[in-house]
């Protein structure tokens, strides 16, 4: 019994001693100043001085990038244009590469870190031919970092795992997949052949106009969408770069559209065809035939009417300075002065005047027609843009149809009868402003 009591007391004493040691150590750690955080810079090179990047991988294809006349190219098996954004990401990582921690100051054996046969080697060469090489090894036990070393430096570091991921790229990841490379604001002419129609657009300052098949007003939004579709047309390499299959599908496919874009540097052409449910494209700017996104095909499969301007007036959201409406024997005249609407010297009710202006602004064709206009039964004249823009619309009634035309333009627009009725009602509802309260 005495022996058992002695053993119990010894265990309790050891436990108390351990608790006291842990308590003292914790207190000492709490009172200690935190260690100063240091950034361990591995590389420091201006992005514009980096001329070559070589990525060698234990698994996967090696990649050699070189800057040529300011543009990056992949120069391994064949010369390919590199994706500017992808290369920019690599340059950003390389130009200021930091390590998290130093594992060994002078490592005599790097095999335990996976650096004897690194997973990835990244070599950069600057314009002065100075070369540096990063070796990336195994993941750390925690999995949030990788072991790394710089060639010629005896130290072993850890770097964030995302750095390894940023260099673990395939050729398809880094190649420029754009089929039409241009700046939208520099384009002067666009041509589209689709749905058995040939359409040509010309730019006048910042406004697009339809030039062919005949001069017509263009809706700016769909023309800009057409440009965006062409600018964003890219190779779909998700299923592998099977050029032979793409060429066969393109040759047997049905034509969807042919588009041409012209700027100061010349004209580029893109042909799109459909095979079963997939779209394939051939570009004059890039060698080869490639599968493209469905949106590229549907975005080019447009008709002339898809680009025509259905709005009958161009003053848009700006208030006109003056408008006149003649409906048979009835005439209405409104002018804007000092923020108020006036008619023949009488200040008009803001709400009723605003309703009429909005009805005129919103006039739009329900469809385009070639015939049906006879003599005008209703006409509207609008002056806007400080007197620089004058527009006149003539509306003819032909049975139950209303057909309109803009003065001095050949195009005809059919209007819904309800739209004309609402316009006539808004004009009839014009009224003077209420007298001011005393």
Classify domain 40-174 at the CATH class level.
mainly beta
Q: Would the pLDDT of 24 be above 50? A: no
Is residue 12 very low, low, confident or very high in pLDDT (cuts 50, 70, 90)? very low
Domain boundaries, given as residue ranges, for the chain: 40-174, 184-306, 322-428
* pTM exceeds 0.85 for this model: no
What mean pLDDT comes out for the span 155-183?
92
* 91 in Cβ contact with 48 (< 8 Å): no
Any idea what DSSP says for residue 49? G
For residue 76, name the pLDDT band (cuts at 50, 70, 90): confident
Give the tens place of pLDDT for each residue, 215-240: 999 999 999 999 999 999 999 988 76
Q: Three-state SS for 13?
A: helix
- Residue closest to 256 by CA, chosen among 309, 293, 203: 293
**DSSP state at residue 355:** H
For residue 248, give both structure tokens. Answer: 């066969």
Minimum mean pLDDT range among 31-35, 142-146, 231-235? 31-35
Tokens, residue 276:
């079963």
């Amino acid at each position: 019994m005495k022996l058992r009591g002695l053993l119990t007391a010894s265990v309790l004493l050891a436990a108390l001693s351990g608790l006291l040691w842990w308590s003292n150590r914790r207190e000492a750690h709490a009172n200690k100043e935190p260690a100063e955080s240091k950034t361990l810079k591995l590389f420091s090179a201006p992005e514009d001085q980096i001329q070559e990047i070589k990525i060698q991988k234990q698994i996967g294809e090696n990649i050699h990038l070189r800057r040529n006349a300011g543009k990056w190219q992949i120069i391994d098996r064949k010369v390919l244009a590199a994706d500017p954004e992808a290369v920019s990401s690599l340059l950003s990582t390389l130009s200021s590469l930091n390590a998290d921690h130093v594992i060994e100051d002078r490592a005599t054996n790097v095999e335990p870190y996976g650096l004897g046969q690194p997973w990835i080697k990244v070599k950069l060469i600057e314009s002065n031919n100075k070369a540096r090489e990063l070796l990336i090894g195994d993941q750390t036990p925690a999995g949030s970092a990788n072991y790394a070393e710089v060639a010629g430096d005896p130290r072993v570091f850890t770097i964030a795992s995302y750095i390894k991921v940023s260099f673990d790229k395939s050729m398809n990841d880094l190649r420029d997949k754009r089929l039409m490379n241009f700046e939208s604001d520099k384009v002067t002419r666009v041509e589209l052949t689709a749905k058995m129609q040939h359409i040509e657009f010309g730019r006048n300052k910042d406004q697009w106009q339809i030039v062919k098949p005949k001069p017509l007003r263009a809706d700016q939004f769909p023309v800009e969408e057409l440009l965006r579709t062409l600018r964003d047309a890219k190779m779909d390499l998700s299923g592998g770069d099977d050029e032979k299959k793409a060429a066969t599908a393109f040759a047997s496919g049905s034509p969807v559209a042919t588009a041409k874009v012209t700027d100061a540097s010349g004209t580029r052409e893109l042909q799109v065809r459909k095979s079963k449910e997939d779209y394939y494209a051939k570009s004059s700017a890039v060698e080869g035939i490639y599968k493209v996104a469905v949106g590229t095909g549907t975005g080019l499969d447009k008709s002339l009417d898809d680009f025509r301007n259905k709005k009958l007036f161009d003053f848009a959201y700006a208030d006109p300075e003056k408008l006149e409406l003649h409906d048979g024997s009835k005439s209405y005249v409104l002018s804007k002065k000092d923020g108020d609407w006036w008619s023949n010297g009488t200040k008009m009710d803001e709400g009723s005047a605003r309703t009429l202006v909005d009805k005129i602004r919103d006039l739009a064709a329900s469809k385009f027609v070639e015939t049906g206009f006879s003599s005008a039964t209703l006409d509207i004249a609008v002056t806007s843009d400080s007197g620089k823009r004058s527009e006149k619309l003539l509306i003819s009634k032909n049975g139950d149809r209303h057909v309109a035309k803009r003065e001095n333009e050949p195009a005809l627009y059919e209007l819904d009868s309800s739209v004309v009725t609402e316009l006539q009602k808004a004009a009839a509802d014009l009224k003077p402003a209420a007298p001011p309260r005393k």
